[in-house]
Structure 1
């Protein structure tokens, strides 16, 4: 029996799913938070990304095993319900999950609102342009998702190609810049972000916590 158009539009292919995953990691994990990571970790930023990558690898392995055990469209919600049952606790955890998705979307919108005015200013006011771009990308993404999830996969597949080309370009420039680059000293442990206790000891302030 042939599938209806609504059913065909509600499914994505493997390549589309991979593209959505890569796009989310590259967009949110690299483009959106790289500046914040550098400002917080300073010279230890590569170490911070290495640790984050290890955690992401462990998390992805867990998701794969859970998905094989409980192949359901509910995803994380299904996993929590299977582990803790349908209760007030699992309901609260699932609500926190949805809240984390909202925060993640706000991160993407905020990053886009910060980057876009540097390419083209609409009103001439940085604050107004930020709200225009961040709001417009949310509305646009909502319309695309409402229209067809299959379209989302195709758009993400195209966007991932552009993202990977940009990253490969940065990697090439970075490797070329390693030759005789005097700024490599910024990655030394002396330039890593120090904890409050280390700063206190350096300043001669000793206290007990």
Structure 2
């Protein structure tokens, strides 16, 4: 592989953060809140714990089996090449397609509010969804290094925006009666909290 197509550590971190602080967060946050209600912070912690264990496992597996195959390689090493591992790998690819579809759907839902192309929001959504998939495919095909560079700048912008939201949200908590919505009495059932956490994990999975 030429150096122009190699991803540096900074690029890899940027891609990972961009995967989480991007379509994932904005696409699943509303659904997670509707599931967990006041227990949403706990659902975030639960999802973060699962993501931490998953990322640690991936690091160890990648060091043991350094290969471009990634998860496919790990499954083949663990279970051998057969029907079971083949089925799991196909399921993995399907889950990636669903996850990317979720991101494209979120982008297509938000973009028309910023810039409408036609007078029909449904058509605008489909145009934006198709455009972002085609653009992402082209960039990945052209050079993975370019993806890292783009994410390096995009992540800074997104983190600044999110930090602004965090600061405003934290300020709004003081002297606000809405803080009672986080009380244990406002939490949903344990199953709903776990379900909300799994939905949030879709965002963390970008890393």
TM-score interval for Structure 1 and Structure 2 normalised by the shorter chain: 0.7 to 0.9
Is contact 2:39-2:188 (8 Å) kept?
yes
Is 1:72 the counterpart of 2:67? The answer is yes
The match for 1:105 is 100
Q: Does 1:24 align with 2:25?
A: no
Instruction: Return the offset for 1:106.
Output: 0.3
- Of 57-66 and 35-44, more deviation after overlay is shown by 35-44
State the distance in 2 between where 1:31 and 1:108 align: 9
Instruction: Give the equivalent residue in structure 2 for 1:8.
Output: 3
- TM norm structure 2: 0.87
Structure of greater Rg: 1
The structure with higher relative contact order (CA 8 Å, sep 6+) is 2
1:114 aligns with 2:106: no
SS in 2 for 1:43: coil
Q: For residue 122 of structure 1, report the CA deviation from its aligned partner.
A: 1.2
What does 1:16-55 correspond to in 2, within 5 Å?
Answer: 16-55=11-50
CA distance in 2 between counterparts of 1:32 and 1:9 reads: 32
Aligned partners of 1:83, 1:28: CA distance in 2, in Å? 32
For residue 159 of structure 2, the aligned residue among 155, 158, 164 is 164
User: 1:193: Cα distance to partner?
Assistant: 2.7
Q: Which runs of 4+ in 1 moved over 6 A?
A: none
TM-score, with length taken from structure 1: 0.86
Q: How many residues align?
A: 191
Q: Distance in 1 between matches of 2:88 and 2:189?
A: 34
Q: CA deviation at 1:191?
A: 2.2
CA distance in 1, matches of 2:82, 2:119: 51
Distance 2:37 2:116 in 1: 30
Deviation, 1:25, is 1.5
The structure where helix makes up a greater share of residues is: 2
Q: Which runs of 5+ in 1 are unaligned?
A: 1-5, 197-209
Which structure 2 residues correspond to residues 128-167 of structure 1 after superposition, within 5 A? 128-167=123-162
